[in-house]
Amino acid sequence: MGPGTHHPGRGALRGGRGGAARDRAAELQHPVLFRRDLHAHRRGRGARHHGSARGASHHAPLRGFPQEGAHQAALVQRGGAIVRIVLLGCPGAGKGTQAKVLCARFGLTHVSTGDLFRTEMAKASPLGKRVGDYVKKGMLVPDDVVVELVAATLDAVPGGWLLDGFPRTLAQAQALDKYLVSNGGKIDLVLSLAMREEAVVARLAGRWSCPACGEVFNLQSRPPQQAGVCDKCGGKLLQREDDTEATVRRRLMVYEDLTRPLAAYYRSEGNFQEVDGGQSPEDVARAVTAVVDGVHA
């Protein structure tokens, strides 16, 4: 992939492969034009966050996915069939939780644009600061930034993967399909976690986390024993700027506007399935596992 898509801040391309990643990003410009100021963001297909996922990069125009070279290896599963999953769902739908469940059960590589963005923001790099500006406003990170990050991670995936947060727009989905087809692959399953807006607002606006140990609490479903204090390490709990109610509603509006066409696109491809994300995490896990079991069989 190349630079550009919307995702909440992630890492830039660095290390020994940073230059190559930037070259790949520049190649991605072709048939896909991303013109909006607000682009959908999030994870490209699987890959580990290796050195290539770590460096600052150019913001070259988008073209499409690289079609040869090391990326071919990403479609070779060692010892079994490859399973490639795109996980969709609005902010707060529980994609991160279910992604961990599925990756652990089926041996998939979890690629999350959100994690990549947060890493880059934590480094306070120029790219991270740019991403942070979008995140604080409840906006999606531009395509060029997201695609660049995803491009930097593709080489490291040796087998099956789960994309969490990418694609976010129809153009991104088409770019992903073009890349896969050129390498003899395809998406096996597009799994969408559906939730009502009010349920999402209640879930996210009540979320507080501990910056010291990463523990997450919810004032409604899992409140801390002592208000404002982490049960696990005693650290002070904070609410992320993108979890306030006003920002959550803005994020949902942007998400709906940009990603609605994705469901229609993937439904037409015949690989789209939806699960009720408003159930308990355990029930959702059982449901998504059953769906993937059918594909994996």
Residues with a catalytic annotation lie at 95, 168, 207, 240, 251
* CA separation for the pair 203, 205 (Å, rounded): 6
Q: Which long-range contacts link 120-127 to residues 24+ away (Cβ below 8 Å)?
A: 120/9, 120/10, 120/11, 120/12, 120/149, 121/9, 123/11, 125/12, 125/56, 126/56, 127/9, 127/11, 127/12, 127/56, 127/57
Q: Tokens representing 142? A: 């531009």
Report the candidate in 7, 111, 16, 25 with the shortest Cα–Cα distance to residue 55: 16
* CA separation for the pair 77, 69 (Å, rounded): 16
Task: Assess contact for 196 and 204: CB atoms under 8 A.
Answer: no
* CA separation for the pair 226, 234 (Å, rounded): 9
Report the candidate in 15, 85, 23, 19 with the shortest Cα–Cα distance to residue 50: 15
Task: Assess contact for 266 and 260: CB atoms under 8 A.
Answer: no
Q: Which amino acid is at 53?
A: A
